[in-house]
Amino acid sequence: MRAIVISAFGGPEVLTLTDLPDPRPAHDEVLIRVKAFGLNHAETYMRSGAWGEVAPVTGIECAGVVQADPSGRLAEGTAVVALLGGMGRTRNGSYAELVTVPASNVVPIRSSLGWADLAAFPEVYATAWSALHGNLALRPGETVLVRGATSSLGQAAVNLASDHGATVLATTRDPDRAGLLKEIGADGVLLDDGRLAPQVRARGIEVDAVLDIVGNSALRDSLATVRPRGRVCQLGFLGGLAPVQDFAPLADMPSGVQLSFFGSAFVLGTADFPLAEVPFDAICRKVEDGTYRARPTRTFGFHDVVEAHRVMATGQALGKMVVTLD
| Contacts with 28 (C-beta within 8 Å, 6 or more apart), sequence order | 71, 102, 103, 104
Residue count of the chain: 326
> Can you state the angle between helices 41-48 and 305-314, rounded to 10 degrees?
110
Radius of gyration of the chain (CA): 19
> CA distances (Å), 174 to each of 148, 219, 237, 321, in order?
11, 20, 18, 19
For the structural domain made of 124-265, what CATH number should be given? 3.40.50.720
What is residue 164's three-state secondary structure? coil
pLDDT, position 314: 84
- Amino acid present at 154: G
pLDDT score for 158: 97
Q: Are β-strands 298-301 and 321-324 bridged in parallel, bridged antiparallel, or unpaired?
A: parallel
Ranges of each domain in the chain: 2-120+295-324, 124-265
Within 8 A by CB and 6+ apart from 65, the residues are: 32, 33, 35, 76, 77, 78, 79, 80
Name the burial class of residue 184, with classes exposed (0-12), middle (13-18) and buried (19+) by CB atoms within 10 angstroms of its CB.
Answer: buried
Is pTM beyond 0.85 here? yes
133-190 confidence digits (pLDDT tens): 999 999 999 999 999 999 999 999 999 999 999 999 999 999 999 999 999 999 999 9
Q: Which of 97, 86, 90 is nearest to 34 (CA)?
A: 97
Which pLDDT does position 228 carry in this prediction?
Answer: 96
Rounded CA separation 306/325 (Å): 14
As its CATH architecture, domain 2-120+295-324 has: Alpha-Beta Complex (3.90)
Residue pLDDT, tens place only, 9-65:
999 999 999 999 999 999 999 999 999 999 998 999 999 999 899 999 999 999 999
